Amino acid sequence: MRIALAQLNYLIGDFDGNVAKMITRIEKAKADQADLIVFGELSICGYPPRDFLEFDDFIRNTQEGLDKLAKHSHGIGIIVGAPSVNPVVEGKDLFNSAFVLHEGEIIHKSNKALLPTYDVFDEYRYFEPAFDFHVFEYKGKRIALTICEDIWNIHNENPLYRTCPMDILAEQNPDLMINISASPFNAGHAQQRIDVVVENAKRYQLPCFYVNNVGAQTELIFDGGSLVVRPDGGVHHELAYFEEEVQTFDLDEVLDAKEQMVRPKEKMSQVHDALILGIRDYFGKLGFGKAILGLSGGIDSAVTAALAARALGPENVRVVLMPSRFSSDHSVADAKQLAENMGMPYDIIPIESTFNAFENLLTPQFAGLPEDVTEENMQARCRGVILMALSNKFGHILLNTSNKSESAVGYGTLYGDMCGGLSVIGDLYKTEVFDLARFINREGEVIPISTIIKPPSAELRPDQKDSDSLPEYDILDEILYLYIEEEMGPREIIAKGHDEALVKRILRLVNINEFKRFQTPPVLRVSKKAFGMGRRLPIVGRYLS
């Protein structure tokens, strides 16, 4: 049997486009003499469709797409993901299903049993879990077909679930396993995913064909990396990351092979490629062509601009330098140098006159009061108004340049530097932003070295440095990581050797600034716990505040 794996980039709700893309790959698979082609989870409608699933019309369109695909199943089997209607009155209205199409008919359907409801996942909101499991026969082979999370409860050790679908399917003597997935990227998850597929292959002594989606859906980035694994756990082949790819494999050759093919997974390389895909798909899928951002000469805007230029083309990224009385000459020079290095068009719009106008306007109200963070925020908001005016006038989408460290502790100005349609580096701690800058420069200086080595500063008051109000970033980021990603409380973090007063201060800052993060743009997710849909905390509360 020859099996084609198709990891494709889908657009949620674009039924005609998704189906047309699959039909093209079906014809290619036929030309490659494949017996079976496998697409990813919910591939007809795109993943995650979220509350679109509550629209009857959305489900009808999905069914029509399935019918179109079935017409192309003559001479080849097709496995494709789509929601299906639950015929029973009890329970949720839908299943998350994998359909097997052949000779114009649906010859088998497997429903997903393990429905994740943690972090970015909320599948039990929409789907009924499957409780019966059956292999199907095709071309003389018995196939165990599962969907994404269904293979993640090996040995029934996951406390979230009460069953292990493959344990039940294995009793029916399958010849191979196929899993269709929509498994989003985070740094380190690719290896974890391989470990799970390998463990399944070894446990059941079966070859495993695993297909993952690729492409970004707003903040979620799907990295591909589909797999073919032998019964002994050897990785026969790993498809590309962050790219569409279709490859056909001969089952007998997979079983007889000895060599392994595993791709490198260096963290910053994958984060770099993930963010570029995230930007490109956000713009491409929404029909936007050009981006704009403020370029300060600091590390955050420099990295954001470099990524945007690589994603969209430098000619499509407009950067704006907006110096104030506090901006250093080297910051302006660094910003100009970066724009020239990458070939990005730039404007220089000083904000001094605008800032003076606001100061004069508010003089009667501020009389007798000392300058404080208010004046700093006014500068940031002057810049935000300028950027949004240019965005409106020219149809450019504003990219936000805030990093995770600063967003976590509220070190940013609402309606100022926190503006934007998309947060590019909002899931990278400041120390990681520096790491990414060095990665971008690995083959030559793109970001000026002086931008990387100078002390970080918002340049909103004389001689300002981030360290004036925050601990050094290596200390801050470790505390934030333990609290946000590892979900440790203050006592656990203090036990790691961190100063008690500092830990309590930092955690308090994180919690009281939830209202700011609630109003910020979607953040491209590259960690296991990003701000946004995967971290749902109350704005009003007293815990650690």
Catalytic residue set = 41, 112, 148
- d(CA 141, CA 21) in angstroms, rounded, equals 28
**DSSP code, position 257:** -
- d(CA 325, CA 515) in angstroms, rounded, equals 30
- d(CA 334, CA 389) in angstroms, rounded, equals 24
Q: In the block, which residue shows the tokens 């309606």?
A: 415
CA dist list (Å): 136 to 77, 107, 168? 12, 9, 13
92 three-state secondary structure: coil
Among candidate residues 214, 158, 279, the one with its CA nearest the CA of residue 41 = 214
CA dist list (Å): 226 to 163, 239, 259? 25, 5, 17
Contact yes or no for 331/300 (Cβ under 8 A): no
CA dist list (Å): 240 to 68, 70, 110, 214? 28, 28, 27, 10
Cβ contacts of 336 within 8 Å, gap of 6 or more: 321, 346, 348
Amino acid at 176: L
Cβ contacts of 287 within 8 Å, gap of 6 or more: none
300 three-state secondary structure: helix
Contact yes or no for 327/335 (Cβ under 8 A): no
Distance of CA 131 to the CA centre of its chain: 31
Q: In the block, which residue shows the tokens 């971290």?
A: 535
224 - beta bridge partners? 241
> How many Cβ atoms sit within 10 Å of the Cβ of residue 183?
25
Contact yes or no for 450/297 (Cβ under 8 A): no
- d(CA 157, CA 436) in angstroms, rounded, equals 36
Structure tokens at 302: 């420099």
Residue 238 has φ and ψ, to the nearest 5°, of: -125, 120
